[in-house]
Every structure is written in structure tokens, then in C-alpha cells.
Amino acid sequence: MPVWQSLHEDTKDLGLTVVAVAMDQPEAARPWIEAVKPGYVCLIDRDHHLADLYNLVNVPQAMWIDERGRIVRPPETAGSNDGFRAMDRQTRAVPDAVVAERNRVKAGYFEAVRDWARRGAASPHVMDEDRAAARLKLPRETIAAAHVRFRLGLHLLREGRTDEAEALVAEAIRLHPESWAMWRQTARKDDRALASGPEFWARVDALGSRPYYEPMDIATTSDRAAK
């Protein structure tokens, strides 16, 4: 979030608006927002409506929308990489080289966003329609079936109908196993209010060679420098 605050400050006069949507419950998101006191737009999406609309599966994901309301970069990982998978699960320490690579990837992504803010359609990071369409992930009907169950499940959870809610959420997760958002929103949380206990790691391990954060299709200046 501090990274979005500095992006907001650097680009607000360049015609860019940062809209950050918490796919989260308001009471859980509130302390994070109040700690940053963001100047950018901070919205709460307790039912994960945006995930249904844009076919999102995890956070952070971002899309770039131009002045005419057109998607010029479809949903993608917003600067994160899978470096956390190298974490020592007891001490939560991450090797220095992994941290350095994570910082490089993140900085490169946000430099690309700044380039777009400055240069608009002339930025090399803006996708033409063919590339954007090819990069776009369209939902399957099982995903739509998962979203409607998740929606009713979260509603029933708020109503205190825990058993019915948990059955619906479990079915949603079964129908849409790629969605980390559905799983983590409703999973048991650890002492840091994170869904990052043994069950999380078991799911991550089950990915095998598949990514948790899908790598971004973006050639950044730091990539070129690294070559």
C-alpha cells in the first residue's frame, strides 16, 4: 500500500487515478487503510464483486484502464512474484537474493505504471487490442457457478448461518480451485490475521511448478538492466 501512495503522489497530476479495492471485509481492511491514510481512492468489496466481473483469482492483481474506459492491460499480478515460496516456514526469513529479486520485479512494474502515466498510449507497456484480448482470461461456467455460491455463502456468514455458509463456500472453492481470494478470505487465520498457516502452505506446495502469482508479461527497464 505505501507503494500505491507514492504512485498516487507521483502520477495524480499526470492524469492517473489510483483506485485500490480491498477484496475484504470492511472491519479487516480498516486498520490497514487508516495506517496509510491514503490519498488514493480506497474501496471495499466485501462480496468480491470485482473478482466476478474481471475474473480475478488473487491479490494483488491490477488492470490498466485508459481515459476512454478501455482496458489496456488486462488483469495481471500487480508487481508481486513467488519469492515468498523460498521462505523459512519457522522463522519466516527469506534469502537476501530472493528479496532483492522481489524488489526488482516490483520496482520494474511500478516504473512501468509511471511510464504509462507519463506517456499514455505511447507507453510500450500499453497493449494494443489484439494483445490485450489474447492476454485476457475469460471465465468458465464453473467459475460463474462458484461466484454465485460464494456470494450467498458470504451473505449467510454475515447472517450467522455458519453451517450453510461453509457448505456453500466449500463448494465454491471446489468449483474454482484457482481462486486464492475465495480460499484465503474464508480460511482460518493465523496470529497475524493471515491465512498463511499449514493449510496455506499445503495448498501452495500442491501447486508444484505452477505459480502462485502468475508472472507478468511486461518488459521493464530493470529486466533489460538485469540482462
d(CA 117, CA 201): 37
Q: Does 35 bind other proteins (CB under 8 A)?
A: no
- Residue 20 backbone phi and psi in degrees, to 5: -105, 120
Nearer to other proteins, 95 or 124 (CB): 124
Q: Does 193 bind other proteins (CB under 8 A)?
A: yes
d(CA 19, CA 126): 18
| CB proximity list for 155: less than 8 A, separation 6 or greater | 47, 165
Out of 9, 15, 93, 199, the residue judged to bind other proteins by CB under 8 A: 15
Q: Does 42 bind other proteins (CB under 8 A)?
A: yes
Q: Which of 12, 2, 63 is nearest to 33 (CA)?
A: 2
Q: Does 203 bind other proteins (CB under 8 A)?
A: no
Q: Does 92 bind other proteins (CB under 8 A)?
A: no
Quote the least distance from Cβ 15 to other proteins, whole Å: 5
Which cell numbers hold the place of 220?
521493464
Out of 105, 143, 157, 169, the residue judged to bind other proteins by CB under 8 A: 143
Q: Does 135 bind other proteins (CB under 8 A)?
A: no
Q: Is 195 helix (H, G, I), strand (E, B) or coil?
A: coil
Q: Does 201 bind other proteins (CB under 8 A)?
A: no
